Amino acid sequence: MLQAAAKFLSCADHVAAIGETGLDFNRNFSAKEDQLRIFEHHLDLAAELQKPVFLHQRDAHDEFFPLLQKYRPNLVGGVVHCFTDTARALHDYLELDMYIGITGWICDERRGQELQRAVGKVPEDRLLIETDSPYLLPRSLHPKPKSRRNEPSHLIEVAKSIALHSGRELDDVVRCSTENAVRLFRLPVSLSLENS
């Protein structure tokens, strides 16, 4: 019953992707076996409906990557959301032609150092900027909002940090991320960012 409902809802034209789905072994709110089973179901659904996947992986690369690798030939694409993993994991996902989602984590001078070093290895045509709202308020943002809540309006802070740590121009980071989002999610817009 639940699987049929998920399939029915996912068929709607306004559904751009399947997910957020994946594996999270950090806090273990759900049993590993349940997570693996549901993740495979979502990958099957994405392949069947030809929708991209919006992926979550935390402390689970060794189990997550082989499943993604197995299903990749049948997937139209996907984004590894809120990427905070190792250089090896980044390489693995790029080998599968996945998009890499960068959030306010890169703005954190304590936790984001590895990501700051790695972001230059993300090709322009694989880069996406994300908020992970309401979480991951960029630490470099000043002044901070009283609510301490992250908002889409703070994406520019993430873009600035990506530009700084990757050696790219800010306009290029914004342009390529926007173009990538339109392409991956098949958004019904035309972009003319050349002269904007």
- Whether the per-residue pLDDT at 3 is higher than 80: the answer is no
Residue 10, in any domain of the structure: no
- Residues 77-122 have pLDDT tens digits of 999 999 999 999 999 999 999 999 999 999 999 999 999 999 999 9
- Whether the per-residue pLDDT at 30 is higher than 90: the answer is yes
Residue 135, in any domain of the structure: yes
93, burial (CB in 10 Å: exposed 0-12, middle 13-18, buried 19+) = buried
pLDDT category of residue 123 using cuts at 50, 70 and 90 = very high
Q: Which residue has the higher pLDDT, 141 or 88?
A: 88
Q: What is the residue whose two structure tokens read 């972009």?
A: 191
Please give the helix or strand (H or E) that residue 24 lies within, else none: strand 18-24
Give the pLDDT confidence score for residue 195 in this predicted structure.
Answer: 45
Reduce the secondary structure of 84-115 to three states and give it as a string: CCCHHHHHHHHHCCCEEEECHHHHCCCCCHHH
Q: How many CB atoms lie within 10 A of CB 38?
A: 16
Residue 192, in any domain of the structure: no
41: left (phi over 0), alpha (psi -120 to 50) or beta: alpha
Q: 128: domain range?
A: 16-185
Residue 190, in any domain of the structure: no
CA angle 189, 53, 46 (to 5 degrees): 105
Q: How many domains does the chain have?
A: 1
Residue 134, in any domain of the structure: yes
Residue 157, in any domain of the structure: yes
The rounded distance, in Å, linking the Cα atoms of 115 and 133 is 19
What's the predicted TM-score (pTM) here? Answer: 0.91
Averaged confidence pLDDT in the chain: 91
Residue 176, in any domain of the structure: yes
The strand pair at 18-24 and 99-102 is best described as unpaired
The rounded distance, in Å, linking the Cα atoms of 93 and 79 is 9
Residue 149, in any domain of the structure: yes
- Residues 159-194 have pLDDT tens digits of 999 999 999 999 999 999 999 999 999 998 765 554
Mean pLDDT of 141-153: 86
Give the pLDDT confidence score for residue 141 in this predicted structure.
Answer: 80
Mean pLDDT of 30-37: 95
Residue 20: phi and psi, rounded to 5, are -70, 130
CATH number of the domain that 91 lies in?
A: 3.20.20.140
